């Protein structure tokens, strides 16, 4: 199992220092919080990438419907290049908690879920170098492909982890399209069989302000549990 933790906060300089300590201490991943306002996650991760050589790097979590997915795709691909293929993107539909800009707070969960699905597909299309994409919410078409060529991730398939809410089938179908999930315990404490495991059922562990988690070294693609036959 690989182990990582979410930086507990602080200014950009302090978080960078903690990330360096984490790599020296043997952690396998460092993740940062991304919200509506605060220390910019992707600038911070780029700085960490430039000062480290081994730990996996990503957000926990990126509320994709708040963001322009093409911008997120650019930021993650750039981080993957700077880090030599160590980037991970973790996304969710975006819960409110009073941190969401006012113009997004009124959007229904179904709308945000649709934006999340389309955003994941658009990001994958850009990373694969596709010049055209047409989804329900987002569309693009490149006349010139030079930027598509220079902004490709180092990893052949950069991992996308997504919040999985069991037993909601739409959420589970979304998990199957990604490399792993961050299981949610709001309705269940079942640890889903996917690339993002936890040390124990329930939410990631928090001790003295440090939230830690673990995931399988092989990072297999997730699979859905089979339905039991009716008795």
Look at residue 177 in the predicted model and tell me its pLDDT: 83
pLDDT digits (tens, 9 = 90+) for 160-219: 998 877 777 777 788 888 887 776 654 433 333 333 333 333 344 444 445 666 676 655
The ranges assigned to domains in the chain are: 2-215
The backbone torsions φ and ψ at residue 60, rounded to the nearest 5 degrees and listed phi first, read -150, 80
Look at residue 116 in the predicted model and tell me its pLDDT: 93
pLDDT digits (tens, 9 = 90+) for 40-71: 999 999 999 999 999 999 998 899 998 999 99
Distances from the Cα of 188 to the Cαs of 135, 163, 165, 167, 180, in angstroms? Answer: 31, 13, 8, 8, 17
pTM of the model: 0.80
CATH of segment(s) 2-215: 3.20.20.30
Q: What three-state secondary structure class fits 16?
A: helix
């Amino acid at each position: 199992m690989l182990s990582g933790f979410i930086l507990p906060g602080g200014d950009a300089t302090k978080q960078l220092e903690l990330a360096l300590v984490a790599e020296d201490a043997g952690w396998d991943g460092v993740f940062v919080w991304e919200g509506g306002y605060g220390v910019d996650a992707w600038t911070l991760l780029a700085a960490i990438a430039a000062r480290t050589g081994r730990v996996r790097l990503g957000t926990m979590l990126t509320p994709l419907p708040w963001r322009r997915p093409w911008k997120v795709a650019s930021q993650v691909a750039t981080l993957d290049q700077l880090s030599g293929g160590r980037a991970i993107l973790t996304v969710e539909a975006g819960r409110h908690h009073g941190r969401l800009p006012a113009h997004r707070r009124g959007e229904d969960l179904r709308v945000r879920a649709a934006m999340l699905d389309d955003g994941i597909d658009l990001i994958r299309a850009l990373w694969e170098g596709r010049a055209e994409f047409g989804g329900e919410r987002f569309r693009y078409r490149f006349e010139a492909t030079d930027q598509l060529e220079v902004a490709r991730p180092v990893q052949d398939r950069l991992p996308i982890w997504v919040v999985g809410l069991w037993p909601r089938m739409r959420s589970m179908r979304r998990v199957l399209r990604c490399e792993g999930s961050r299981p949610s315990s709001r309705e269940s404490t079942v640890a889903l069989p996917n690339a993002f495991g936890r040390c124990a059922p329930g939410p990631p562990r928090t001790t003295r302000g440090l939230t830690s988690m673990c995931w399988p070294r092989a990072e297999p693609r997730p699979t859905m549990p089979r339905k039991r036959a009716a008795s």
